A = this chain, B = another copy of it.
Amino acid sequence: MPNNSLLKCIVFDANGKFKKISSDIQKTQLILKHDLLPRDLRKIDKGSDDIVPSILVREHSILLNILHIRTLIKADSVVLFNYDQTFSNDQLVSNLSQRLRNVTNDKLPYEIRALETIFMNVMDNLNSEMKVQVTVVNGILKELEGHIDMTKLKYLLLVSKKLQQFQQKATLIRDLIDETLAHDDDLVALYLTDKKKGTSRVTTDHEEVELLLESYSLHCDAIVQTVENSISDVKTTEEIINIILDSNRNELMLLGLRFNIGLLSFGTLLFVAGVYGMNLENFIEEKNYWFPIVCTCSLLTCGWIFRKSMHRLGQLTRIQMTK
C-alpha cells in the first residue's frame, strides 16, 4: 500500500505541455494510472541520495532513476518526480517540453525522444561536473608542485574524495548504459509506442535507440577515462611527494649532523678557553693584545658558521617540485 506523503512531480502530456501535480489525491490517482509498484514509490521518495542508477523497463512504462532525475516514461506521457514549480524554468523541463512537442518532426517515437533528452541532460551535468573537478584537481596538483604545505594537502584530501565519488557515479551510469546495450530484448522493450499499438518488433530491430545509447556510452566513457586519468595523476603525485618528503628529510638530517660536527669543533674552542681561563694568568695574561685577537677570531668564525647554516637551511626549506 503506497504511503500517501506529499510527492511533487511534473507531468508532460503527448504534446509536451507540462503541469505540476502535488496534492495527495492526484498522486494516488497517478500511481494507479501509471502501474507503479509500492517499491518503486519507495525508490522515488528516497530523494537524490541514490548512488546506483537504474532503468526498469515495464510492460507499458520505463522507470528511469539516474543522478537527480527520477522519471516515468510512457508512450504518451512523461512524469518527472521530485520536481515542483520552481523547476519549471529548469533546462531539463524546457528541453523535454520542446523535444516532446517534436517541432522538427523527428521520426523517433515519443518515448525515445524523452529518453534522449534526459540522457543529454545527464551527460551535460556529468560533463560540467567533470570539468570543474578536473580543473580543481589540476590546480591543487600544480600548486603542490610549487610548494608542499599542510593546507594544500588537506585540500587535496577533500578534492580527492570528491573525485572518487564522481568517478563511481559516472562509472555506474556508463555500466548501466552498456548493460542495457548488451541486451537486445531490453532495447526492443524500450519502444513503448509500438507495444501500445500492438506492432511487434523483431528482437534485432532497434537501431535508432542503439545508436543513441552507443553515443551516450562513448560520451560517458570519455568522462570516466578523463576522471581516471586525474585520479591516477593524484596517486602518482602523492607517491612522488612521499619520496620527495623522505628525501628532504634525509637532507635535513644530514644538515643536522653537520651542525653537530660544528658543535663538537666549537666545543674544542670552549674547552681550550676553559683551560686557558686558569693558565692565561701564567702565560699570556700579561700580553693584553691576545684577548681581542682570540675574541674577534672566534666571533668572526661563529658569524660565518651562522650565515652558512641559515643559507643552507633556507635552501632545504623550500620543497618545490618544479625547478
Question: Do B268 and A299 have beta carbons less than 8 Å apart?
Answer: yes
Which residue in chain B gives the minimum CB-CB distance to A51? B225
Determine whether A88 belongs to the interface, using a CB cutoff of 8 Å to chain B.
Answer: no
Give the contacts of A178-206 with B (CB-CB under 8 A): none
**A196-233 interface bits toward B, Cβ cutoff 8 Å, 1 = contact, 0 = none:** 00000000000000010011001001100110110011
In the bound complex, what is the Cα–Cα distance between A39 and B150 (angstroms)?
Answer: 45
When distances are taken between beta carbons in the complex, the residues of chain B under 8 Å from A249 are: 245-246, 249-250, 253
- The answer on a CB contact under 8 Å between A247 and B50 is no
| Copies assembled | 5
Contact indicator B243/A153 (Cβ below 8 Å): yes
- Which residues on the B side are within 8 Å of A274 (C-beta)? 270, 273-274, 277
Contact B243 A243, beta carbon cutoff 8 Å:
no
Indicate the size class of the contact surface on chain A. 35 or more
Which chain B residues lie closer than 8 Å to A44 at the CB level? Answer: none
A107 at the interface (CB under 8 A from B): no
CB distance from A43 to the nearest CB of B (A): 8
Q: Which residues of A contact B (CB under 8 A)?
A: 1, 37, 39, 50-52, 54, 56, 104, 145, 148-151, 153-154, 156-157, 160-161, 164-165, 168, 172, 211, 214-215, 218, 221-222, 225-226, 228-229, 232-233, 236-250, 252-283, 285, 288, 291, 294-295, 298-299, 302, 305-306, 309-310, 313, 316-317, 319, 321-323
Question: Can you name 7 A-B pairs with beta carbons within 8 Å?
Answer: A52-B218, A150-B247, A156-B240, A161-B237, A275-B291, A275-B298, A278-B281
